[in-house]
Amino acid sequence: MPPFLRAALLALALFPAALWAQDFDAGMRAVNAGDYETAMQEWLPLAQGGDARAQYNVGVMYAKGEGRPVDYAAAYDWYLKSAQQGYKPAQFNLGLLYERGDGVMQDYTQARKWYEQAVEQGMPKAMVNLGYLYQKGLGVSVDQPRAAQLYERAARSGYDQGQYNFAVLTEYGEGVPPDLDLAYMWYLIAATAGHETARARLLDLKPGLNKYVRFKALERARECVRSNYETCGRP
């Protein structure tokens, strides 16, 4: 094939993809401006054409009632299309619908299935939600060590809810050996990230801990974050 013809064919192949990306970005701009009707006009054709991101975003608009009444059944349909393509935010949201029973019959087993798929792709929010199912025995047998493992993984990914949840289990020795100093460190990290419940727990614990213990916990918290959560275990 002559080089000029090969180049022309490549340009034609890339041209629709470029337009596709422009349409998706136009939808994002519209949502950010609160223009949900335009966003839907941009995303719906992409979603119908099989774009996983657009399918997810259309699902979010139905779930949140953005520019239209809340419709969890429609949200479910679009999340499912996206999740089946491996898009982890859709997998997480699908798990959430099953956990809450929004638009579908409440089904913790299905929630676990979709959370697990998102966890396999490294999604911290899914780690926390899956950990909660194991902690409370929802759709599975109670498994505190598994819950702690998932919370710690989310914590070391920098997710403040995972940090808080792991701190709670560590404080009370649920699934892991009790360690108040380590729990205090994780509460500090979560609170610094803006977790209000962690801040409240720090205030509760402060009177029972001497200044040296609190200072060492602060040092450990700083080192933990500096090391990108590599050195956050027991000393």
Kindly report the CATH number assigned to the domain that includes residue 187. 1.25.40.10
| Closest C-alpha to 93, from 45, 46, 138, 125 | 125
91 contacts: CB under 8 Å, gap ≥ 6 = 83, 114, 115, 117, 118, 121, 123, 126
Residue 89 within a domain: no
Residue 141 within a domain: yes
Q: What is the pLDDT of residue 169?
A: 98
Residue 230 within a domain: yes
Residue 172 within a domain: yes
* Residues 65-103 as b or e (16 or more Cβ within 10 Å = b): ebbeeeebebbbbbbbbbbeeebbbbbbbbbbbbbeebb
pLDDT by residue, tens only, the chain of 235 residues = 565 455 444 444 444 444 455 588 888 899 899 989 998 999 899 999 999 999 999 999 999 999 899 999 999 999 999 999 999 999 999 999 999 999 999 999 999 999 999 999 999 999 999 999 999 999 999 999 999 999 999 999 999 999 999 999 999 999 999 999 999 999 999 999 999 999 999 999 999 888 998 999 999 999 999 999 999 876 6
Q: What is the pLDDT of residue 67?
A: 87
Residue 17 within a domain: no
Residue 84 within a domain: no
Q: What is the pLDDT of residue 83?
A: 98
Report the C-alpha dihedral over residues 61, 124, 161, 234, rounded to 10 degrees. 180
Residue 166 within a domain: yes
What is the number of structural domains in the chain?
A: 1
Give the domain extent around 189.
Answer: 131-235
Residue 173 within a domain: yes
Q: What is the pLDDT of residue 15?
A: 40
In angstroms, rounded to a whole number, what is the distance separating the alpha carbons of residues 69 and 226? 45
Q: Among all chains, which residue has been given the structure tokens 């409240």?
A: 200
